[in-house]
């Protein structure tokens, strides 16, 4: 069975010049460097998620709404409204919620002395 390259698969389904393909592959290489922690953070922009599942994050943490709010500095009303879809967390809250989701210990360590 013949192995096909990414380029062969891509070109087989898309009309694209070699120059454009090189640009796409360069972007993929940059993305791989960012994901691997090899890229200089000053050279790329991080994106804040547009939506976030607050209830799933809270439940994974095993906390009630009041306990989750108290631990991470949110109001209980905000947590309740986010979970019920009445409000959407602002960008800064979505950043914090993303860190809580991915690495809650980092948030706890950062806030432990405060």
- Dump pLDDT digits (tens) for 67-85: 999 999 999 999 999 999 9
- Is position 1 within any domain? no
Mean pLDDT of the chain: 87
Q: Are 17 and 59 contained in the same domain?
A: no
- Is position 98 within any domain? yes
Contacts of the segment 93-99: beta carbons below 8 A, 24+ positions apart: 94/48, 94/49, 94/52, 95/48, 96/72, 97/52, 97/54, 97/57, 98/48, 98/49, 98/52
81 CB-contact burial (10 Å; exposed 0-12 / middle 13-18 / buried 19+): middle
Q: Are 63 and 104 contained in the same domain?
A: yes
Answer yes or no: pTM beyond 0.85: no
Give the whole-angstrom CA distance, residue 14 versus residue 21: 10
Q: Are 39 and 76 contained in the same domain?
A: no
Who wins on pLDDT, 24 or 15?
A: 24
pLDDT at 81: 98
- Is position 38 within any domain? yes
CATH number at residue 106: 1.10.260.40
Q: Based on the structure, what is the number of domains in the chain?
A: 2
Domain that residue 67 falls in: 54-111
Mean pLDDT of the region 60-64: 97
Q: Are 37 and 73 contained in the same domain?
A: no
Who wins on pLDDT, 8 or 34?
A: 34
């Amino acid at each position: 069975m013949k192995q096909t390259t990414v380029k062969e698969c891509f070109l087989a389904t898309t009309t694209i010049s070699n120059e454009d393909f090189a640009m796409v592959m360069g972007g993929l290489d940059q993305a791989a460097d960012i994901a691997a922690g090899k890229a200089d953070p000053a050279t790329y922009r991080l994106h804040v998620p547009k939506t976030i599942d607050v209830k799933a994050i809270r439940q994974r943490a095993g906390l009630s709404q009041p306990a989750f709010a108290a631990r991470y500095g949110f109001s209980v009303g905000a947590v309740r409204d986010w979970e019920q879809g009445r409000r959407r967390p602002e960008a800064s809250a979505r950043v914090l919620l993303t860190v809580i989701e991915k690495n809650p210990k980092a948030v706890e360590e950062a806030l432990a002395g405060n």
